[in-house]
Amino acid sequence: MSDVGACEANPEKCFKINAPEYLIDLLLGITAYNALFLVFSSDHVYEGAVDEQPPSFRSTKDSLQQSANGYSETSALYPINVYGQSKKKLERIVRMKCRYHVILRSSVIYGPLLADFFDVNEAITTDTSNLCDKKTESLSKVHSTFLQFLLKELRVHASDLSNQSIGTNQDNLVSNKKVTLFQNEIRNFVCIFDVLKCCKFFVDQFFFQGQLFHEIFNMGGSESCSRVVMAHALCDVFSSDGSYKMDKKKILGMKRSECQESWAKKTPSPSNLKMDCGRLYEKMRYTFLSLSQGLELCKYYMQDQLSSI
Residue range 37-62, pLDDT digits in tens: 999 999 999 998 744 444 454 444 44
Residue 119 pLDDT > 60: no
Highest mean pLDDT among 14-18, 48-52, 117-121, 260-264: 14-18
Rg (CA), the chain: 21
Residue 209 identity: Q
Mean of the pLDDT values across residues 246-272? 90
- What pLDDT, on the 0 to 100 scale, is given for residue 158? 55
- What pLDDT, on the 0 to 100 scale, is given for residue 285? 97
Going along the chain from its start, the domains and CATH numbers come out as 4-308 (3.40.50.720)
Q: Of the ranges 36-50, 110-124, 150-164, which one carries the lowest mean pLDDT score?
A: 110-124
Helix axes 21-31, 82-97, angle to 10 degrees: 20
Percent of the chain with pLDDT over 70: 75
Q: According to DSSP H, which parts of the chain are helical?
A: 4-9, 11-18, 21-31, 57-60, 82-97, 120-125, 145-154, 158-162, 170-174, 192-207, 227-238, 278-284, 291-302
- Name the burial class of residue 273, with classes exposed (0-12), middle (13-18) and buried (19+) by CB atoms within 10 angstroms of its CB: buried
